[in-house]
Amino acid sequence: MESSSARSGGSTRREATRQKLYEAAVTLIAEQGFSATTVDEIAERAGVAKGTVYYNFASKSVLFEELLRHGVGLLTASLREAAARTDQEGGTKVDALDAMVRAGLVFIDRYPAFTQLYVAELWRTNRAWQSTLMVVRQQAVAVVEGVLREGIEGGEFSEEIDVPLTAAALVGMVLVAALDWQAFQPQRSLDDVHSALSRLLQGRVSGGR
């Protein structure tokens, strides 16, 4: 049997290889589309043999499905950590939502190709991974829903709030605003974009006090 250290080393190497494949796949697919991207190209971009791709993933579709799980999993974790950190610091639920907005912007700024790909796939209905996409989307939205519900229970938010729709709207606002920032207003800083969205979140766009 392998020692625990040997197994750990093998697992670490495999995760590093999978990370290379994720990065190669998301960049290529964002550039030229899923259908036009081949396994050969993914392997070449990742710097591995073609057989390594199939060793880690049964097919290109499976690789893409796991890529969606991986990427949205990272986003969900960052949102959850932002909310938990705000709670530990004694912040309000509005503060938690604001921290999650910033965490989402940081994620998108770090992984722009994945974000473009994810948003594009949300509008497609004929993909084999559609059910997986819906599941991982709900994981991210559910974190925001949880904060909204806690705010309602604590009397900070109105009971009239439609929690699922409001949570989806907040996530969508961050995704679309961030993509618009990167594509059309790249001169803006992350702080600029966060400040604008923060004002929207806190209802301070009308000039009222």
Q: What is the pLDDT of residues 14-69, one digit of tens each?
A: 889 999 999 999 989 888 888 889 999 999 999 999 999 999 999 988 998 888 88
Per-residue pLDDT band for 113 (boundaries 50, 70, 90) equals confident
Joined tokens for residue 100: 């999650």
Per-residue pLDDT band for 209 (boundaries 50, 70, 90) equals very low
Type of residue at 91: G
Give me the residue label for tokens 């969205």.
Answer: 197
The answer to whether residue 188 scores a pLDDT higher than 60 is yes
Alpha carbon of 209 to those of 93, 196, 202: distances in Å? 20, 17, 11
d(CA 14, CA 125): 32
Q: What is the mean pLDDT of residues 115-135?
A: 80
Q: Which residues contact 10 (CB under 8 A, 6 or more apart)?
A: 2
Strands (DSSP E) contained in the chain are: none
Average pLDDT in the chain: 88
Per-residue pLDDT band for 2 (boundaries 50, 70, 90) equals very low
The answer to whether the beta carbons of residues 101 and 197 sit under 8 Å apart is yes
Q: What is the mean pLDDT of residues 181-192?
A: 94
> What is the predicted pLDDT for the residue at 205?
45
> What is the predicted pLDDT for the residue at 4?
44
The answer to whether residue 6 scores a pLDDT higher than 60 is no
Q: What is the mean pLDDT of residues 121-143?
A: 83
DSSP string of 168-195?
HHHHHHHHHHHHHHHHH-TTS-HHHHHH
First to last CA, the chain: 69
Alpha carbon of 185 to those of 2, 36, 147, 176: distances in Å? 53, 29, 30, 13
Hey, which of 113-117, 153-157, 201-205 has the most confident mean pLDDT? 153-157
> What is the predicted pLDDT for the residue at 204?
60
